Chain A
Amino acid sequence: MSSRFDGDALVRVEGVTKRYGELKAVDQIDLEIRPGEIFALLGPNGAGKTTLIGCITGLISGFEGEIDVAGFDVVDDYRITRRLVGLVPQELNYDAFFNVRQVLEFQAGYFGVRPTRERVDELLDQFSLLEKAEANTRWLSGGMKRRLMICKALMHEPILLFLDEPTAGVDVDLRDELWSYVEDLRARGTTIVLTTHYLEEAEKLADRVGIINQGRLLRVDARETLMDDLGHRHLDVELRDGNAQKWVARLSHLELEAVDAHRIRLHYGGGAECRDRPAVDQLMKHLVDGGEGIEEIEGGRSSLEEIFRTVLQEDTERNGGGER
């Protein structure tokens, strides 16, 4: 048993395929997750996100390919890799026979860690559960149960945390609190892999994003790269004199539209074009040179959700949306 950890990839997934009969739940996936990053794995329902996470964490066995965590093989060295990993699954669960504190103490024992009162209190405090420490888990609200599951996953201080839809059924305030703790964890060096349906959260938090569909990993990139490459920007200019149509006709070489009589919208792409902004420069130069009075300028860009949809749509067009 030896580690092949080279410091670049905390998780290395190579050629992983998981079949259920004829169905390939994940199909030839190669992926690297870097130490200390927040990696968002995005995909529609049934895309293979949970299956991939299951293969890495040991929930699912019998897959083809290789997965290493910190250089240790998740099959051969499972006793090591599973201690390095914390998992918050999608499904809510609770231990009806025990109170919150006992649940966390048992959880530490499951990873061979001696539970200390300080560690339990620290976690409960961070997730606003300290007042419920002696309450039976059965009587916790859904949000509290979700937070307790995160506490459980963190009890043995994993270096890699998987959050599978952690904010499902959690109210807005708690979601913010939770994400703030995730950022705090990242700041302390924990690597985080998350799946979420709230793409605006992934957009805010993730360093890198992987988009998975029908078991295939379609794209993996830094969030900014993805948004620059695949996203579009627009610039709305509100004109004082209501000449929107005139400018659209005059600047037909630009991707310009009249939103109403007073407002024009310039669409321009991402990537190098986005950074150099020649279209913006051209538009502004024409407006200023033409003596157009400008009331207001407002910029906007594609959201991660729009990019996500674009990638999925392109994949569906390329490969069809049929059965796997």
Chain B
Amino acid sequence: MGRIGLALTWHEFVERARDRWVLVISVLFALLAVGTSLYGRGAEADVQMLTGPSLVTLAALFVPITGAVLGHDAIVGERERNTLGLLLSLPASRLEILAAKFTGRFLALALAVGLGLGLAAAVAGADHGMMLFQLYLPTLILGAVFLSLGVCISTFTRRQSTAASLVVALWFLLVFFYDLGLLGLLVLTDGAVATETIATLVFGNPAGLYRLEMMELFAGPELVDDLGMAVELPGPGARAAIWAAWTAIPLAISALILTRRRTQR
């Protein structure tokens, strides 16, 4: 990324870091994370069995919506402000502009997640802090997926309010209703659907995969057995591929839409 790309990235980062919705969600996440950590410490609970999994549940709720909100107005917001044309007429390629949009917002996400988990880790004390901080990178990747989805939605919607509605709907779908849907599928089919299929569907959802990966981190590899699932978590390569696909495919679609658009109005 050249100087122009870096300038765009910095602008995106500073702008998003000042966005009030991102601030509200980030502060709320930080407060709850610190509260969870304090509770775990006060209860003298095992960080692996109480604080860690609680933070995972919290992050699985907050980080996807933060990422999605960060991404939802990347393109459509510019269009509504009548600045998309000007932006795309800068001496940078559209791919560079998209990359700068994503990177700047990703940095804002990294700051928000780092703030929440960092404070929680600091409160947990030196012994448990590092354990909790292991959550950071995977949580950031989860956020990046939803950021990428948000950016994608922002490229094909015509209004920012539509994009906002869609990212919230997507968040509900992937974070809440997906697992419920799978449960419903099991009940409706009376177990006719293979457990492997259900497991694959769970792993295919970034929110589900994140929860299982993190539970495994805290509770060990036998967790899946303990949950009564007769399957194994995908290997590191397969997991990396799932995460990469969830991040890259929406961005690739965004790039395709943006580069094919002939008028930026």
Q: Are B264 and A111 in contact (CB under 8 A)?
A: no
B46 at interface, CB cutoff 8 A:
no
Q: Are A112 and B3 in contact (CB under 8 A)?
A: yes
State which of A58, A95, A97, A98 has its C-beta within 8 Å of the C-beta of B88: A58
Which residue of the partner chain A has the closest CB to B264? A59
| Contact bitstring B62-98, A, C-beta under 8 A = 1, else 0 | 0000000000000000000111011011111000000
Instruction: List residues of chain B with CB within 8 A of the CB of A110.
Output: 4, 7-8, 11, 90, 92
Q: A58-B89, A83-B91 are in contact. Are A91 and B11 (CB under 8 A)?
A: no
Q: Are B85 and A89 in contact (CB under 8 A)?
A: yes
Instruction: List residues of chain B with CB within 8 A of the CB of A20.
Output: 263
Q: Are A97 and B91 in contact (CB under 8 A)?
A: no
Instruction: List residues of chain B with CB within 8 A of the CB of A111.
Output: 4, 90-91
Q: Are A87 and B18 in contact (CB under 8 A)?
A: no
Q: Are A61 and B85 in contact (CB under 8 A)?
A: no
Instruction: List residues of chain A with CB within 8 A of the CB of B18.
Output: 97
Q: Are A54 and B85 in contact (CB under 8 A)?
A: yes
Which residue of the partner chain B has the closest CB to A84? B91
**Docked pose: A79 CA to B2 CA in angstroms:** 12
**Docked pose: A22 CA to B250 CA in angstroms:** 32
Q: A60-B262, A60-B263 are in contact. Are A109 and B10 (CB under 8 A)?
A: yes
Which residue of the partner chain B has the closest CB to A156? B91
Which residue of the partner chain A has the closest CB to B259? A61
Q: Which of B1-59 contact A (CB under 8 A)?
A: 2-4, 6-8, 10-11, 14-15, 18-19
Kindly provide the distance from the CB of B199 to the nearest chain A CB, expressed in whole angstroms: 44
Kindly provide the distance from the CB of B262 to the nearest chain A CB, expressed in whole angstroms: 4
A92 at interface, CB cutoff 8 A:
yes
| Contact bitstring B90-114, A, C-beta under 8 A = 1, else 0 | 1110000000000000000000000
Instruction: List residues of chain B with CB within 8 A of the CB of A112.
Output: 2-4, 7, 91
Kindly provide the distance from the CB of B113 to the nearest chain A CB, expressed in whole angstroms: 21
**Docked pose: A98 CA to B11 CA in angstroms:** 10
Q: Are B89 and A109 in contact (CB under 8 A)?
A: no
Q: Are A97 and B263 in contact (CB under 8 A)?
A: no
Instruction: List residues of chain B with CB within 8 A of the CB of A98.
Output: 14-15
Kindly provide the distance from the CB of B122 to the nearest chain A CB, expressed in whole angstroms: 29
Instruction: List residues of chain A with CB within 8 A of the CB of B10.
Output: 106, 109
Which residue of the partner chain B has the closest CB to A59? B85
Q: Are A82 and B91 in contact (CB under 8 A)?
A: yes
Q: Are A87 and B82 in contact (CB under 8 A)?
A: no
| Contact bitstring A82-112, B, C-beta under 8 A = 1, else 0 | 1100010101111101100000001001111
Instruction: List residues of chain A with CB within 8 A of the CB of B92.
Output: 79, 110
State which of A57, A62, A87, A93 has its C-beta within 8 Å of the C-beta of B262: A62
Instruction: List residues of chain A with CB within 8 A of the CB of B2.
Output: 112
Q: Which of B245-265 contact A (CB under 8 A)?
A: 262-265
Instruction: List residues of chain A with CB within 8 A of the CB of B3.
Output: 109, 112
Q: Are B7 and A54 in contact (CB under 8 A)?
A: no
Kindly provide the distance from the CB of B99 to the nearest chain A CB, expressed in whole angstroms: 15
Instruction: List residues of chain A with CB within 8 A of the CB of B90.
Output: 82, 110-111
Report which residue of B2, B6, B11 has the largest number of chain A beta carbons within 10 angstroms of its beta carbon: B11
A78 at interface, CB cutoff 8 A:
yes
State which of A60, A62, A87 has its C-beta within 8 Å of the C-beta of B86: A87
Instruction: List residues of chain B with CB within 8 A of the CB of A54.
Output: 85, 263
Q: Are A106 and B262 in contact (CB under 8 A)?
A: no
Report which B residues bind A (CB closer than 8 A). 2-4, 6-8, 10-11, 14-15, 18-19, 81-83, 85-86, 88-92, 262-265
Report which A residues bind B (CB closer than 8 A). 20, 54, 57-62, 78-80, 82-83, 87, 89, 91-95, 97-98, 106, 109-112
Q: List 6 A-B contacts (CB under 8 A).
A: A59-B263, A82-B89, A82-B90, A109-B3, A109-B7, A112-B2
4 A-B pairs with the lowest CB-CB distances in the bound complex, closest first: A109-B7, A62-B262, A91-B82, A58-B89
**Known A58-B89, A59-B85, A83-B91; further 5 A-B contacts with Cβ < 8 A:** A54-B263, A61-B263, A89-B86, A93-B86, A112-B91
